[in-house]
Structure 1
């Protein structure tokens, strides 16, 4: 996975193109506060609807650079997370339960119980792993009855490594950024290792 990540970044940099960059060049980049506001609002809506947060971070890094891109992507991701969580909790809890507890219910019930038992550490472990579905976890947390604060706080911390990684990749595509791609690979390896360790600890405590 790490080798593929670096290879993809080098390939995109070599061909000088990536999905969504043309639109970002036309409507977001070099447009000051307006471009940043449009990016945040659109990012909140897209991540709340289930768009990959890693793609959002990549485009943020491409448009605004690694540091500003990370900050703006984090704001948009957390906004989308909170919106989906609140929607499942307040508006459509019954719909979310039917959607998530259908054919995959036997797989989701243990995860829901784990979230309810240790909302902060379980959420953090799942956010650090580069697998799973961001929207599904938001809906599952919203319908499970856990408190919003530990879920959102753990999500913010768990989002950060991959947000930095993909913002660095976006920045590396636009400029001669081999070091950004290398740093992204190292951060990905570290976040995966920490995520698996936390998940193992949570399972051990549950048993």
Structure 2
């Protein structure tokens, strides 16, 4: 087990190091993606399957290693593949990548972090125990919580990998559709900030709190019936 963990740490460190050493982040900036849209659309027309597979693989890698660029790639998916196919690609690629990030974090740091920050993580662990999948589902719906941070934090909780996967798949779908749809107008967007309005963010927050509120109401009704 220790050998596997060390190999995983080394491979992850090498890839992340290469990302920053070779400044690969420049190829995932909003303006670079926007400037290359015509070239990629031509490539997609010439080799649709290859472009789709490469896009999918890169998206999984970026999200699995918590590298910057997922949001911009989601816009690119809308520009290249349209709302339907773009949403399908991003939904599965982001969930698979998030689950890999979850597994990596759990392999590398779970036991140590749980011991070192037991008190700080107590609230999160209690939330998972009390609310189960509703807790993760709510976090996935609220844009205020960073995508990569949820992956890492959840890896430190008792939640099962399969539960993390399918709850994330459903929970991230609404945000995915919003970004992919915005990507269909990529050439007209001036910046990333033009995508999410305050009203839309508040709507996501309300949507994220809804499952927890519903569970509380159902639990309260059941408690009254058994009282």
* TM-score normalized with structure 1 length: 0.71
Residue 66 (1) aligns with residue 83 (2): yes
**Count of residues in correspondence between the two structures:** 181
Q: Which whole-Å CA distance do the structure 2 matches of 1:117 and 1:83 have between them?
A: 25
Q: Which whole-Å CA distance do the structure 1 matches of 2:69 and 2:132 have between them?
A: 22
Instruction: Name the residue aligned to 2:176.
Output: 163
**Structure with the greater alpha carbon radius of gyration:** 2
Higher relative contact order (CA 8 A, sep 6+): 1
Gaps in structure 2 of 5+ consecutive residues: 1-29, 220-227
SS at match of 1:144: coil
**Cα deviation, residue 65, structure 1:** 0.9
Q: Which whole-Å CA distance do the structure 2 matches of 1:69 and 1:145 have between them?
A: 32
Root-mean-square deviation (Å): 3.4
User: Structure 1 residues 33 and 193 mapped into 2: Cα distance closer, same or farther (>3 Å)?
Assistant: same
**Cα deviation, residue 157, structure 1:** 0.9
Mean Cα displacement is larger for which, 82-91 or 162-171? 82-91
- Whether the aligned pair in 2 keeps the contact of 1:119 and 1:151 (CA below 8 Å) is no
Instruction: Name the residue aligned to 1:41.
Output: 57
* TM-score normalized with structure 2 length: 0.65
Instruction: Name the residue aligned to 1:4.
Output: none
Q: Which whole-Å CA distance do the structure 2 matches of 1:67 and 1:85 have between them?
A: 27
Corresponding residue to 1:131 among 144, 158, 163: 144
**Cα deviation, residue 149, structure 1:** 2.0
